[in-house]
Structure 1
Amino acid sequence: MAIARNELLDYLNQQLNVGRINDFCPNGLQVEGKENIQQIVTGVTASQALLDQAVSVGADAVLVHHGYFWKNEAAPVTGMKQRRIKTLLQHNINLLAYHLPLDVHAQFGNNAQLARLMGWSTQGTADPNDPACALMLGGCSEISSDGLKAQLEERLQRPLTCYVAKPGKLTRLAWCTGGGQGFIDKAAALGVDGFITGEVSEQTVHSAREQGIAFFAAGHHATERYGVKALGQHLQQQFDLQVQFIDIDNPA
């Protein structure tokens, strides 16, 4: 069963509260393709490899978390950007991208889906009044730092990028998928035992050590596979579409 592109966009924009979130890139339709959509490929990033896979399976649309046209990026459509957009235009494929709206959504968001994967309880975000707040709070059954590290590596299927242990058991957690390492000081100020994100900066390790919290950098890509996958599964059920999640390996 196919759905009109504009109908799908209206549904996604409403579900993901796009109008309430100020982002670093446009959310929604980034490259226009076919008017009607039946087959969708979902993935984390609109890389050339993902686009090539979409072409090979005859997709009408690609739905991703990381799209194009970021704030402060060079405007000319040349080189890698030209090749990617040319692929979409030549094959009349729509590109739909949702960044912060797909991080923070209470059901389909990357933060919510990571908690679901890990079995953590959720207590909302650090700022309930900010619809774009990406720092989530919650908890887990008492577990050691080493135990949580092992769980993350097993369920995300990759070794951690960086890890700082804390003595004793962890119960109170904060997390922000992707490049959320800058939230560590805010997380520590909220009194959590551990902070989980995707990436790490040099100063992050010192902050964790000096403020006495466990820190886990579990991979930008690895922590953000689950939001767009869950959203695609929802669209498949809601509109009887053909949706395929394709995971392009990325160690970052």
Structure 2
Amino acid sequence: MTALVELADVSKFYGNVKALEGVSLEVHAGEITCVLGDNGAGKSTLIKIIAGLHQHDAGSFTVDGDETRLVNPRDALDRGIATVYQDLAVVPLMPVWRNFFLGSEPTVGRGPFRRLDVRTMRETTRSELLRMGIDLRDVDQPIGTLSGGERQCVAIARAVYFGAKVLVLDEPTAALGVKQSGVVLKYVAAARDAGLGVVLITHNPHHAYLVGDRFVLLKRGAMAGSHARSEISLEELTRQMAGGSELEQLSHELAREATPEFPGGHRPG
């Protein structure tokens, strides 16, 4: 089956700095590809390339089987790639329905009598959120009154409604508690079940393993691993994410060696 999006040996350089080097991943319809890495691993650069903000310098970028070079974010949207960033682009004091259609508002009337179709926007927002299993008390409430998890869910439902085929999520659970993270992951899975190909960027292997079908690990801009879910356990994914052998070496260096005088490995008092 042809991948919706495929990156093969993609690299990105800023002068002499290698932000990404030789990164490959595939995004298939109805699957979640998780990209894991610590700060500075290259996750943000990868997002910007997929979203059309930056162009890759080497390797190939394929959308629906056609090799391409995205010009800008609008080009990515036109090709069905929607990106939801960690700092959601919403207007806090505007109602939920207005944020749902922000920049794509339907209108009625002509000429000087042209106005926003508020009724359609309210009804569509309510029905689309319900279709994703999101039951808000009132779509007229300011979106800033929603929890972080609820705002993420509205952004996911919006991308599905506007015809996204690939949904890129930038650390959607990073600033959320356990319960809210679970809510967001539920709707990430709902987007997958709706037939979208999802790219979930995260530094949390536990969240990734709950929903992921494929896992790509980045370290200092390079591939540190690529696994299908059937090929790796949560424990091994966590070990690789944490540094694996490097962490074991660090633990060995930090361990206090026992001495004849102090068998416990530390001095009293």
TM-score (norm 1): 0.25
TM-score (norm 2): 0.24
The structure number with the bigger radius of gyration is 2
